[in-house]
């Protein structure tokens, strides 16, 4: 796993602003592990009251225990709209309302479209895009009542395209577009909307990919400089907390990524596509060989994703 050579500074947030989190009622989806769990624990340490939504009940219970005894826990598959609505309504009832909702739940699958397992591709859209939309829709009435803040977790993949990750990139680009549309729609109701972008972070999902889908990892190593690094989670959480406190429209780690958004068409230029396409022919041949050996589904997703996504 490659680490970034330089340390990316995180702008400090004044304690007086962090105090604003005290008593805030915050719901997080995908809270059993990774970004969701780390964010929940950080917010709880600042006095926030949490509702944790996810699929892994034992892990959710463990995170909830670390967040405080009044933490609400709801088991929910975000790709099922009725489950999402029921979980969010129950959380709002338990906490007496919601001030902030973080739509974080997501999965990843991989492979060239021509040979990737079709259900694995569909499952990413159902979870990462429809799941965010279901979360947003169910949360709006509660956030209108509190004039609250909705934060959707997208990814650098919303503007950076990567061969073999068509479903993930499509879903995250959709999350960004959804967030930008919704921000305008809900402004008259006093709701603010943010969207977060991260480069590759050192999470369970990324480590699973590196271990179980090495062909994708080899492709990432072909990318230039900063794009192939794996970044630490802690400063990303710092940025999320700072963004939640100040209700930012856009949050990113590393922060320099926000500056690239104005030039996103460069990432779709012919030159960029040539760079991204280095080694693609070899990757396609390797993927087809693995499909023949192990089956398309086994090499399109990790064991954990197959278990959680019902694949």
Give the catalytic positions in this structure: 168
Instruction: Write out the two tokens for 46.
Output: 């600042």
| Radius of gyration from C-alpha coordinates of the chain | 19
d(CA 192, CA 59): 30
d(CA 46, CA 19): 7
d(CA 155, CA 239): 14
For 24, the enclosing helix (H) or strand (E) is none
Instruction: Write out the two tokens for 269.
Output: 């230029």
φ/ψ bin of 278: left (φ > 0), alpha (ψ from -120 to 50), beta (otherwise): beta
d(CA 74, CA 104): 15
List Cβ neighbours of 209 (8 Å cut-off, separation of 6 or more): 108, 110, 216, 217, 302
Q: What are phi and psi of 25, to 5 degrees?
A: -95, 110
């Amino acid at each position: 796993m490659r680490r970034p050579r330089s340390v990316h500074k995180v702008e400090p947030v004044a304690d007086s602003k962090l105090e604003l989190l005290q008593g805030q009622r915050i719901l997080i989806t995908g809270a059993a592990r990774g970004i969701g769990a780390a964010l929940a624990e950080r917010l709880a340490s600042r006095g926030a009251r949490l509702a944790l939504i996810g699929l892994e009940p034992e892990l959710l219970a463990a995170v909830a225990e670390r967040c405080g005894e009044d933490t609400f826990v709801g088991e929910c598959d975000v790709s099922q709209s009725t489950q999402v609505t029921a979980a969010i309504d129950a959380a709002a009832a338990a906490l007496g309302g919601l001030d902030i909702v973080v739509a974080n739940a997501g999965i990843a699958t991989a492979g060239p479209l021509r040979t990737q397992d079709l259900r694995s591709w569909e499952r990413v859209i159902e979870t990462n895009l429809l799941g965010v939309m279901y979360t947003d829709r169910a949360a709006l009435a509660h956030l209108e009542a509190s004039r609250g803040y909705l934060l959707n977790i997208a990814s650098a993949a919303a503007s950076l395209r990567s061969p073999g990750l068509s479903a993930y990139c499509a879903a995250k680009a959709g999350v960004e577009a959804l967030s930008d549309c919704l921000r305008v729609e809900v402004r008259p109701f006093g709701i603010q909307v943010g969207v977060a972008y991260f480069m590759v972070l050192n999470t369970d999902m990324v480590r699973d990919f590196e271990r179980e889908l090495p062909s994708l990892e080899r492709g990432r190593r072909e990318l230039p400089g900063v794009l192939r690094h794996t970044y630490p989670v802690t400063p990303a959480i710092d940025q999320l907390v700072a963004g939640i406190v100040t209700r930012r429209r856009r949050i990113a780690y590393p922060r320099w990524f926000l500056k690239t958004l104005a030039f996103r068409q460069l990432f779709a230029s012919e030159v960029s596509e040539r760079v991204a396409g280095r080694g693609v022919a070899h990757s396609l041949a390797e993927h087809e060989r693995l499909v023949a050996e192990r089956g398309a589904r086994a090499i399109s997703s990790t064991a954990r994703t197959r278990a959680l996504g019902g694949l």
